[in-house]
Amino acid sequence: MQDNEAESRDLILAPKSRVSKIWILPLISLLIGIAMIYNHYQNMGTKIDVQFNTAEGLVGGKTVLKNKNVDIGLVKNISFSDDKETIIVSIEVQKGMESFLAKDSLFWVVRPRVGAKGITGIDTLLSGAYIEVSAGESNEFAQHFVGLESPPITPSNADGIHLKLVSKGNTALNIGMPIIYRGFEVGAVESKTYDDIEHEAQYDIFVNAPFHNLVTANTSFWNSSGVAFKADSKGVSLEFASLETLLTGGIEFDLLEGRSPGLGVPQYHTFQVYDSKESIAQDRVYEYLEYVVLVEDSVEGLYKGAPVDYRGIRIGTVAEPFMAFDKTRAIVGSIDETRIPVILKIEPERLSQNEEVTLDVFKMMMDKWIRDGVNASLATENLLTGSLKVSLSPSNERKNSVEHFGPYPIIPFKPGAIGTLTKSMESVLNKINNLELERTVDNINDLIDRGEITLKSADAAFISAQNAIDKAGATATSLESSLVELRETLEGLQPNSQLYQSVNSSIQQLEVTLAEIKPLINDISNKPNKLLFSPTLPADREPNALPKTQGEIEKQRDEKNE
């Protein structure tokens, strides 16, 4: 009893709790919510913005960001830029994928495309377009990027070398065009621009490893697109790098024969790209010596850049097909010079790549050639176009020294085949002008008239002969036919032949018939009127009359006939 009272006293004295148990559930929910929010922000990826020219195929909340076909992000929102010229795509990249957000990373939209290498992105026809990212190598990270409108030709982390090509000629390259080394595709053209100040096309290319080690300072690049037609003394040939370059084009590079490799080149080194392999030697810039040829012939067809050769080997280039009048007058001091000064560039590097053969050494060689009798003449380079070139050749006209025309050493001029032909034609024309053409023409007309008469007579004789031949032919044909018939007839008259037996039988029948009609013939011969009158019949017997004698009967017949 006392124990119960003590317990009740303790219960009465204990203070009441101020927090109701009903708040436990909301507190638990709050804690869970805080944990979820924390987890959300803890696991939330990095947000970036990528700028594109168009949002074709992109859908907010659906389009994904991929790398090597693995989802690493999702497009959250698509909006316009401030100037309304481009599209801003907001992407949330998954946590832990920040390494793809280097400053030099590349973004582009993968959608169906038709290009020189075929059709790509066909799988997006069903799944929809997506954004592909290629991680860069920079240590700096960014949140704003400019996307590419087409997939990059080479990945940003590819091993190789980036180079620049420039072209001032007719070479036109396309993005994606292959880079070829001796038949192997080793790279591609990545981009192209045009410099309107330098008036040249500029291209960025990439050469894959390990072929990038083949690119040195003396490497040459040329356009291998299409077919190269070549006609020379060996015949006609068609050349092209490969079937792919024939269809899509390509750039080829190599170290030309006779050239040393040289040193390696750094990233983005600049090379010139030539229109063809043959044009490399023509367009290359060489060290040169200047000479002059005082031409006495016409220089029509000679152009700047025309070849200068020695016995068929090119050793230089025509710098000026004719010297300007004021420059010539300044050198000569008068206007009496009738010869045409042609400036030549003699380029020793075309003959030798030996660095020991300097310009001074080659100048001494050229001076010796001139003293030994080397001269220059104009020759035909192309018969179709009529273009000319300068040809050097030795002669027996030795000289004691080398003459000069102002600052230029003179290579003596000798009229070539063109000049000689021109003079020969002039001589022939002069002789023709001195001929008595009118008298000659009259004689020719008389000769033609006589010839016409002779031809007419010959024509008539020919017709008569032809008629005789035709008649002889007909006679021969008839005679041949008669001989054939005669032979057939003779063969038919043989004793064993059917014709012979038939004729023999007919003759026998004829003999019998003649024997039968012979009495009739005799009667008719004795009495021709027997055919007209019937034979006299005996008179009817008179009753009791005596028969007449034969004499009386004939006498009575004669009386009737009279």
Same domain, 106 and 218: no
Instruction: Please provide residue 363's backbone torsions phi and psi, each rounded to the nearest 5 degrees.
Output: -65, -40
pLDDT at residue 233 tops 50: no
What is the per-residue pLDDT for 131? 92
Residue 348 has pLDDT above 80, yes or no: yes
Residue % of the chain over a pLDDT of 90: 12
* SS3 per-residue string spanning 279-295: HHHHHCCCCCEEEEEEE
Q: Is 500 domain-assigned?
A: no
Range 176-193 burial, b when 16+ CB lie within 10 A, else e: bbbbbbeeeebbbbbebe
Same-domain check for residues 227 and 344: no
Asked whether residue 380 carries a pLDDT value surpassing 80, the answer given is yes
Same domain for 411 and 307 = yes
The answer to whether residue 78 is domain-embedded is: yes
Whether 91 and 167 map to the same domain: the answer is no
Q: Is residue 4 pLDDT above 60, yes or no?
A: no
Classify the phi-psi angles of 275: left when phi > 0, otherwise alpha if psi is within -120 to 50, otherwise beta: alpha
Confidence of residue 128 (pLDDT cuts 50, 70, 90): confident
Q: Return the bridge partners of 113, or none.
A: 120
DSSP β-bridge partners for residue 178: 188
Q: Please compute the mean of the pLDDT values over residues 117-140 and round it to a whole number.
A: 82
- Same-domain check for residues 398 and 365: yes
Residue 49, Cα to own-chain centre: how many angstroms? 49
Q: What pLDDT is recorded for position 16?
A: 55
- pLDDT of 249 above 80: no
Tell me the two tokens of residue 472.
């002889």
State whether residue 561 is helix, strand or coil. Answer: helix
Looking at the structure of the chain, the number of domains it has is 4
Cβ atoms < 10 Å from Cβ of 347? 21
Which of 257, 282, 307 represents a domain boundary (last residue)?
282
**Mean local confidence (pLDDT), 108-121:** 77
> DSSP states of 252-266 as a string?
EEEPPTT-----B--
Higher local confidence (pLDDT), 11 or 209:
209
Confidence at residue 419, expressed as pLDDT on a 0 to 100 scale: 55
DSSP of 150-180: S--SS-TT-SEEEEEEEE-SS----TTPEEE
pTM of the model: 0.50
Q: Kindly give the pairing relationship between strand 178-181 and strand 251-254.
A: parallel
**Residue 250 pLDDT:** 82
Provide CB contacts within 8 A for 174, sequence distance 6+. 116, 189, 192, 248, 249
pLDDT at position 387 = 86
**Is 531 a residue whose pLDDT tops 60?**
no
Which residue range forms the structural domain that includes residue 358? 288-423
User: In terms of Cα–Cα distance, which of 109, 189, 115, 112 is closest to 153?
Assistant: 189
Radius of gyration of the chain (CA): 61
Q: Quick one: the chain helix, strand, coil %, rounded to 5?
A: 35, 30, 35
Distance separating alpha carbons of residues 502 and 492, to the nearest angstrom: 11
- Mention every residue, 6+ apart, whose C-beta is less than 8 A from residue 472: none
Domain contains 17: no
Cα dihedral 302, 303, 305, 306, rounded to 10, equals: -20
Residue 6 lies in a domain: no
How many whole angstroms separate alpha carbon 356 and alpha carbon 113? 56
436 token code pair: 């008595």
Locus of tokens 């497009």: 75
Q: What 3-state class would DSSP assign to 484?
A: helix
In this prediction, residue 23 has a pLDDT band, given cuts at 50, 70 and 90, of confident
pLDDT tops 60 at residue 8? no
**Residue 72 belongs to some domain of the structure:** yes
What tens digit of pLDDT does each residue of 261-272 get?
888 899 999 998
Identify the domain boundary among 260, 282, 304: 282
CB 292 within 8 A of CB 344: yes
Q: Looking at the structure, do residues 235 and 311 belong to the same domain, yes or no?
A: no
pLDDT above 60: residue 162: yes
Which is higher by pLDDT, 145 or 3? 145
| Model pLDDT for residues 386-424, shown as the tens digit of each residue | 888 999 988 888 888 888 888 899 899 988 655 555 556
308 and 191, same structural domain? Answer: no
Q: Structure tokens of 47?
A: 């947000």
What is the band of 203 on the pLDDT scale with cuts at 50, 70, 90? Answer: very high
**What's residue 480's pLDDT?**
66
Given 220, 247, 282, the domain boundary residue is: 282
My answer on whether 84 and 111 are in the same domain is: yes
299 and 202 in a single domain? The answer is no
pLDDT cut 70: percent of the chain above it: 66
Q: Report which of residues 455 and 318 the model is more confident about.
A: 318
Question: 200 and 126, same structural domain?
Answer: no
CA distances from 221 to 217, 254, 353, 385 (A): 11, 7, 19, 29
Give CA–CA dist 327/462, Å, rounded: 76
| Residue 461: inside a domain | yes
- 302, 417: one domain: yes
Look at residues 133, 123, 120 and name the one whose alpha carbon lies nearest to residue 65.
133
Q: Are residues 349 and 406 in the same domain?
A: yes
Residue 112 burial (CB count, 10 A)? 13
Domain-embedded: residue 490: no
Residue 500 has pLDDT above 70, yes or no: no
Write down the mean pLDDT value for the chain.
77
| 29 occurs within a structural domain | no
Give me the amino acid identity at 233.
S
Q: Is the pLDDT of residue 164 over 90?
A: yes
Most confident region among 395-409, 443-457, 492-506, 546-560 by mean pLDDT: 395-409
